[in-house]
């Protein structure tokens, strides 16, 4: 048994009976949420994968870009 489980067990055992109901309810809620979160994570991953594949399919090779010439042309247009 891990240290965290031992600590949790000792804490639960030290609680009065009326507080145990609250702890049990919280644990039930958490156990119901866990599978949903895992499904959402898988769906998010699938959506990301599809989006990445779409972007990859749209990727094109562009010709070499002369930044200095483009900058000079832009300055001429702007300041003339």
Asked if residue 12 lies in contact with residue 20, where contact means CB atoms within 8 angstroms, the answer is yes
Measured CA to CA, the distance from residue 44 to residue 11 in angstroms comes to 36
Total number of domains in the chain: 1
2: phi then psi, degrees, rounded to nearest 5: -75, 165
pLDDT along the chain (80 residues), means of 10: 84 85 82 62 74 87 83 85
Domain that holds residue 40: 3-79
- pLDDT at 41 (0 to 100): 61
């Amino acid at each position: 048994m891990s240290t965290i489980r031992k600590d949790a067990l000792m804490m639960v055992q030290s609680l009065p009976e009326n507080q145990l109901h609250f702890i049990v309810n919280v644990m039930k809620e958490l156990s119901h949420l866990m599978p949903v979160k895992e499904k959402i994570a898988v769906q998010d991953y699938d959506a990301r994968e599809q989006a990445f594949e779409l972007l990859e399919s749209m990727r094109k090779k562009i010709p070499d870009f002369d930044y200095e010439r483009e900058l000079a042309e832009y300055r001429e247009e702007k300041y003339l």
